[in-house]
Amino acid sequence: MHSFTLLVAAVVAAGLALDYWLLLRQQRHVARHRNAVPEPFRDRVTLDEHQRAADYTLAKIRPTWLELPWGVILLLLWLGGGIALLDQWLAAVLHQPLLHGTALILTVLLVSTLLELPFSLYRVFGIESRFGFNRTTAGRFALDLLLQFGLLLLLGGALIGLILWLMISLGSWWWLAAWLVWSLFSLLLMWLFPTVIAPLFNRFTPLPEGPLRERIEQLLARCGFRSQGIFVMDGSRRSSHGNAYFSGMGAAKRIVFFDTLLEKLQPDEVEAVLAHELGHYHHKHIRNLLLLSFASSLLLFALIGWTLTQPWFYSGLGITNANPATSLLLLLLLLPYFTRFSQPLMAWYQRRNEFQADRFAAQQSGAEPLIQALLKLYRDNAATLTPDPLYSAFHDSHPPAPLRIAHLREL
């Protein structure tokens, strides 16, 4: 067997074993602590609320035991002849190489999404409904899926087609131009998202005049933050989970609150949540993450450019009719498995940012309102207070609840 084939098999198998081990740790850790509220939370979280969060966490784990091997099976089907058969069929139908290549990549992405759809349906209409979070309907779910497919075909198709054209036209230095296109495309999406893409899925209305808006505007003035507006999103159309976020870039930044969040929090708690988000901008976390993304993608495109010139890459994956589209597709399919082991590093960096944003929020609005807001969100969203530390280190971009609350209480 080819040495690269063995390497790919070993990486996929090691990734699957790691995921199963972490899932087992999380499952056992949450179940072991199900019958006792952690001491720092006993005066604010009831045992029933704690057990509901544990049961919700365990319920979300169960389908993952099947979803992980299903993803590996799909990978083996594509590598074991699926891509080659689809490539041959499309070549007979679409004779223009650029159109043929774009159609190949989009078809594999769409088919993979459809084959994984049962797991999404079970999560939304099974688990989320059972725990009282789901508010979407089958019709709305289908419409969202069609919109996502439409955006993939329109925006994804344009990006894929342009990158394939660069691969065909620019020779060995195509990867540098492709990285530049990818970076500009990312910035374009950030600019388009708040005013063009997000309104396709939700309604956004300006936050009404009143004490809450005045309080938020005073906070923005203290922090020197300018935005295009403060909006309320109808998140309750799909779920009872609450959230808040910033979107856009430059002068087009928007502040968005889920309507479900505003229903649950007091004005000082809403202010504290917003102050936390402002902390990310104050410490330039958004900019730094963007620069980190650009730097890592540059290295990735350089690696892709080098890999595609190596015959062992194709022979090791059983590809006899190599072309730019199949090459790019193979890397898209394999990349998640090869980057899985770097997850803790990125998660550590993001959790560090969260602690900094919490400190900023405590300075601007006080630590106690943010503690109260977080406790309500943990409780209402049924977020476990007892995640396994190692599982959390791989999967959680936010610090575990005990560490985050303890940090705020120190402040």
Question: CB burial class (10 A; 0-12, 13-18, 19+) of residue 400?
Answer: buried
Cα 225 to Cα 278, 281, 359: the distances in Å are 8, 9, 17
Give the residue numbers annotated as catalytic, written as ranges.
277, 358
